[in-house]
Each structure stands twice: as structure tokens, then as C-alpha cells.
Amino acid sequence: MRNRSEVLAAYHAYLDAFVASDEDAIHAQFVWPCAFIMDKETVMFDKFPFSPLEMKARKNWATSTSFEIDVIAVSDSKAHLVLRNCDRLRPDGSLIENATAFYAFTKTPDGWKIFAMSAIEFPA
């Protein structure tokens, strides 16, 4: 049970860094290189592949709500976490898109870190 709560705390540290657009804090939540599973390929990156600040500006994204997060499996060294749902909203509260994502974590001497991820976005 302890590992499960540690993985969830590590994910929230990533989420907080993402919402704050703190690229250094985001980078600290990953093991590099990290696998990003895209639409038709998996790409290994040595740093986060985009700027959350630029993404927010491009989408007119103000906040996110309706998080459904579940640590679906955890061992002593690896864990899987699913963000089943997240609503991304504009400043006026209107829906931009729904998002879902999968994260694979590994336990390091510095705690749980993301080593693979995949996301799908559904425009409103």
C-alpha cells in the first residue's frame, strides 16, 4: 500500500509542476531518456518534448478539472498509473477537451519517476 501512495504522490508532483508550467520541476519527475508513446510511434526524449506554457497559450487553457486517477498496478520497482479522465477548460469555464493518459513509473534512489507515458486528447 505504501508504494501505491508514493506513486500517487509522485504523479501529483508532476501534475503540480505541469499546471505551474515549471519545466525544471517537470523534468525532475522523469527518468531520461523517457518513452513518449505517440499516435504511430514511440519516441525517446532526453527532455520534456513541449512547453506547457506554450500549450496553454495555444489552447487558451486556464485550468483542469474532473480528474480520475488510479494506480492500477505496483510492484517494488515498477508501477502503472492511469489518468482516466481530465477536463481542460478555458478561462470562461467552457470545455476545450477531455484527456486520458497512461504513465509507467520506476522506483529510483530519488523516488518514483516516470519512464514512459502516452496521452489521448478528445476535442470538445
Gap between the Cα atoms of 47 and 49, Å rounded:
6
Segments forming the whole domain that contains residue 11: 2-123
How many domains in the chain?
1
CATH of the domain at 29: 3.10.450.50
| Residue pLDDT, tens place only, 101-119 | 999 999 999 999 999 999 9
**Average pLDDT across the chain, whole number:** 95
Find the range with the poorest average confidence among 5-14, 61-70, 76-85: 61-70
List the grid coordinates of 82: 492511469
Q: Which positions ≥6 away from 46 have C-beta within 8 Å?
A: 32, 33
Q: What global pTM score does this model have?
A: 0.92
| Residue pLDDT, tens place only, 1-40 | 689 999 999 999 999 999 899 999 999 999 999 999 999 9
